[in-house]
Amino acid sequence: MLPLRSFASLRLGVKVGAIQKEKDRLFGGDIWANLVNGFSVVLTPQHLLFVMLGVTIGTAIGVLPGIGPSLTISLLLPVTFGLEPISAFVMFGGIFYGAMYGGSTTSILVNTPGESSSVVTAIDGFQMAKKGRGGAALATAAIGSFFAGTFATLMLMLMAPLLVRFALQFGAPEYFALMLLALSAVTGLAGQSAPKAFFATLLGLGLGMVGIDLQTGQARFTFGNLNLLGGIDPVMVAIGLFAVGEVFWAAGTLKRTFEETVTLRGSLMMNREEWRRSWPAWARGSVIGFIIGVLPGAGATIASFLSYNAEQRFAKGKAELGQGAIEGVAGPEAANNASAGGALVPLLALGIPGSATTAVMLVAFQIYGLRPGPLLFQQQADLVWGLIASLYIANLALLVLNLPMVRMWIKLLDVPKPVLYAGILTFSLLGVYADTQNTFSMVLLLALGVLGFLLRRYDFPLAPVVLGAVLGPLIEQEFRRSLAISVNDYSVFFTRPLALVLMTLVIMSFLVPLFNAIWKASRRRAAVSAGAVGEIED
């Protein structure tokens, strides 16, 4: 007979085991069971319809130049208010993945990238189309995107729960440092110019400060205008910068653009040689894309360029790159799709967006009263795993939808641009009006549109503005919470090991581009003066 004490400890052991099992279940210990659960959530006619709707809209906006997934999700947010969260998010996931697929079509056949992430695809894709291998280029882009998208979703599924366990150790100082790291990475990686990216980030943060301070009730930057007390909605910032700004830009440039379209000839199949050359590029692109996607601020465009760079080094047909090498399409297309999956890892596991699209998705979560991060996996397991399962379905749907129907997608380019842009403009204005019931929001949107146009004109990156507007209030909240916990001791950010590591990375990410700019400028000056000396000597 067991002594009473042993019996108690046995019962306690069983209880601890059960808790651990429950913890494992919630935080991804049993990933495959969670995935099955996710499929059971999403495999309903209603949710499948939203997945299909998302991938169709996503592909369409990917095909159409100038319209991106962040803008589309922003515009659709007011329409989705009445939906269940899972329906809205599976649609957004489909849009995000679909836009990456669709962008390649115009790059290859029209030499006009639908998305910035497909710019590099146009280099070899358009050359292939001119040589009559447009079908093979589209095939390698679509199959590579499927391969990379599936790989990235698998990695998201495996990595996010691990990150969630790690994130459970985070307190306010760690969250503050992590958000600061996301913003500093955006500053370091977005665009060509560090000061421009730095300003764009600060502008976003500044917009996020407008309105009532939640801790003290003080109005900030409202200048006596009651309409500003509620702050500036980050979705409005995204719509203003991306949609209205794009319309103004199109109004100024549309009549001056010329598009050369190559007719799609031959079959949409790759030959054996093209298959053999494509798969290593898909593999390289998938890995690069996923890693870059996880990093805040890097995004699909950088992923595709890095993948092209890798192809220049490792591809079998590297000598042909630039003249129509299939690796130049396969690698970057795989990379930009994998980066979309990668970008969802920090969003879902930590609640930190790394790109404009994930920033808008974070706002969408907030609108539904949800906060992405470790607790989302616990409290909304059906939603998270349903979303992950929907991404697998979206990938498959995109493969089926894209390749055989490519001629139909190309027809989208025949939609008259005046109709398209006038439609975007009214949809944007009515979207913000419907949300606020106030024409002041339209005035604000117009101002943000003009700002977006000017930023674009002078080549400032737009994504950091949206990220700043989303993260600004959160960063401030965590900063003040940290100081409240530590009784105003600033060393709290440097005495906790995790916070220290993150803050060191933040400082490095600020200093590296600064020193880089100084170094480049000094080299330029040295080169100029050397040239001048040379001229004198000559």
Partner 1 sequence: MRAIRWVALVIVLFGAFYLWGALQIRESTTYAAVGPRFMPNAIGIGIVLSGVWLFAFPGAPPAPDSPEAASLDWLSIGLMLGLVAVYIALFRVAGYVLATTLLLWGGRANFRRPPSSRARRRDCGGAVGDNLLRLFAIIAHQPAASPVGLLRVRLEGVVL
Site for partner 1 in 409-448 (CB under 8 A): 416-419, 421-423, 425-427, 429-431, 433-435, 437, 439, 442-443, 446
The number of angstroms, rounded, from the C-alpha of 104 to the middle of its chain's C-alpha atoms is: 17
Sign of CA dihedral 405, 411, 413, 417: negative
Nearer CB in complex with partner 1: 274/476: 476
Nearest to 93 by CA among 77, 69, 71: 69
Mapped onto helix, strand or coil, the DSSP state of residue 211 is: strand
Give, as ranges, the residues between 256 and 295 that touch partner 1 (CB under 8 A). Answer: 256
Mapped onto helix, strand or coil, the DSSP state of residue 268 is: coil
Determine, following the binding rule CB under 8 A, whether residue 133 of this chain makes contact with partner 1: no
**For residue 370, what are its two tokens?**
């949800």
For residues 88 and 96, what is the distance between their CA atoms, to the nearest angstrom?
12
Give, as ranges, the residues between 465 and 494 that touch partner 1 (CB under 8 A). Answer: 472, 475-476, 479-480, 483-484, 488
Stretch that binds partner 1, among 61-69, 254-262, 269-277, 343-351 (CB under 8 A): 254-262
Rounded to a whole number of angstroms, the minimum distance from the CB of residue 318 to partner 1 is 25
Nearer CB in complex with partner 1: 32/458: 458
Q: What angle do CA 336, 272, 407 make, to 5 degrees?
A: 55
Rounded to a whole number of angstroms, the minimum distance from the CB of residue 113 to partner 1 is 13
Determine, following the binding rule CB under 8 A, whether residue 518 of this chain makes contact with partner 1: yes
Binding mask 204-243 toward partner 1 (x if CB under 8 A, else -) reads -xx--x---x-xx-xxxx-x--------------------
Give, as ranges, the residues between 69 and 128 that touch partner 1 (CB under 8 A). Answer: 78-79, 81-82
Binding mask 37-76 toward partner 1 (x if CB under 8 A, else -) reads ----------------------------------------
Contacting partner 1 (CB under 8 A), which of 90, 159, 203, 288?
Answer: 203
Determine, following the binding rule CB under 8 A, whether residue 250 of this chain makes contact with partner 1: yes
Binding residue count for partner 1, defined by CB under 8 A: 75
For residues 193 and 178, what is the distance between their CA atoms, to the nearest angstrom?
23
Rounded to a whole number of angstroms, the minimum distance from the CB of residue 202 to partner 1 is 5
Nearer CB in complex with partner 1: 17/418: 418
Contact 285, 334 (CB under 8 A): yes
Q: What does 458-511 look like in DSSP terms, one character per residue?
A: TT--SHHHHHHHHHHHHHHHHHHHHHHHTTS-TTHHHHSHHHHHHHHHHHHHHH
Give, as ranges, the residues between 172 and 201 that touch partner 1 (CB under 8 A). Answer: 192-196, 198-199
- Which letter, b or e, does each residue of 104-128 get, where b requires 16 or more Cβ atoms within 10 Å of its Cβ? bbbbbbbbbbbbbbbbbbbbbbbbb
Give, as ranges, the residues between 357 and 386 that touch partner 1 (CB under 8 A). Answer: none
For residues 333 and 282, what is the distance between their CA atoms, to the nearest angstrom?
8
